[in-house]
Structure 1
Amino acid sequence: MFSALCAANDEDAWFTDNSEERSLAASEGELRFLPSPPASPAHHHINHITITPRSLVDGWVTLNQCHEHIDPVPKAEITFRSERIRNIELIETENIGRAWTEGATIRLEEIDKDARLCLKAETRALHPMPQGGYELRNGPYMRRFLDGYYPMLISLEIHYPEKLKLIDASPQPQPGFQVIKKGDEIALQSWFEGKLYTRIRFRPVSTGNP
Structure 2
Amino acid sequence: MVTSMRPAPRWRAWVIALATMEAASRATALTLDDVAREGELRFLAERPDPGAYRYDAEARIDADSLREGVVTMRTCHRQLDPNPRIVVAFNPERVQSIDIVSTEGVGRAWVEGRRVELADVRRGGSVCIDLRTRALEPIGEGRWRLHAGPLMRRYLDGYLPMEAELKVVWPPGLLQVTTTDPAPQPGVKLSAGTDGATLHVTFAGRLSATWELQRPAAAR
TM-score (normalizing by structure 2)? 0.84
Segments of structure 1 that go 5 or more residues without pairing to the other structure are: none
1:14 Cα deviation after fit: 3.9
8 Å CA contact 1:160, 1:185 repeated in 2: yes
Which amino acid in the other structure matches residue 211 of structure 2?
A: I
Structure 2 contact 22–81 (Cα < 8 Å) conserved: no
The match for 1:59 among 48, 55, 69 is: 69
Count of residue correspondences: 208
TM-superposed CA distance for 1:198, in Å, is 1.5
Contact preservation (8 Å) 2:162, 2:203? yes
Change beyond 3 A, Cα 1:130–1:49: same
Give the direction of change, closer, same or farther, for the CA distance of 1:184–1:47 in structure 2 (3 Å limit). same
Identity %: 31
Tell me the CA shift for residue 105 of structure 1. 0.7
Q: Corresponding residue for 1:10? A: 12
Residues 70-121 of structure 1 show CA distances to partners (whole Å, capped at 9, x for unaligned) of: 1211111101110121210001000111111101111111111110111101
Alignment partner of 1:174 is 2:174? no
The question of whether the paired residues in 1 share the 8 Å contact of 2:3 and 2:87 is answered with: no
- Classify 1:180/1:203 alpha carbon distance in 2 versus 1 (closer, same or farther; 3 Å): same
Aligned to 2:82, the other structure's residue is in SS state coil
Look up the match of 2:89. Answer: 79
Judging changes above 3 Å, is the alpha-carbon distance between structure 1 residues 92 and 46 closer, same or farther for their aligned structure 2 residues?
same
Structure 2 residue corresponding to 1:187, chosen from 181, 192, 198: 198
Contact kept in structure 2, 1:46 and 1:66, CA below 8 Å: yes
Q: Could you tell me how far 1:6 is from its partner in structure 2?
A: 8.3
- 1:1-210 → structure 2 map (5 Å cutoff): 4=4, 10=12, 13-16=15-18, 19=21, 22=24, 25=32, 26-29=35-38, 30-130=40-140, 133-161=143-171, 162-205=173-216, 208=218
1:192 maps to amino acid: F
Q: Cα deviations across residues 178-202 of structure 1 (Å, max 9, x unaligned)?
A: 0011231111101100011211112
Q: CA offset at residue 148 of structure 1?
A: 1.6
Report how far residue 143 of structure 1 moved.
Answer: 0.9
Cα offset, 1:55, TM superposition: 0.9
Contact 1:20–1:145 (CA under 8 A) maintained in structure 2: no
Q: Counterparts of 1:146 and 1:202 in 2: how far apart (Å)? A: 36
Where does the alignment leave 5 or more consecutive residues of structure 2 unmatched?
A: none
Q: CA RMSD in A?
A: 2.6
| Aligned counterparts of 2:6 and 2:42: Cα–Cα separation in 1 | 15
Question: Cα distance 1:192–1:5, how it changes in 2: closer, same or farther (>3 A)?
Answer: farther
Q: Name the CA shift for 1:12/1:169 in 2 (closer, same or farther; >3 Å).
A: closer
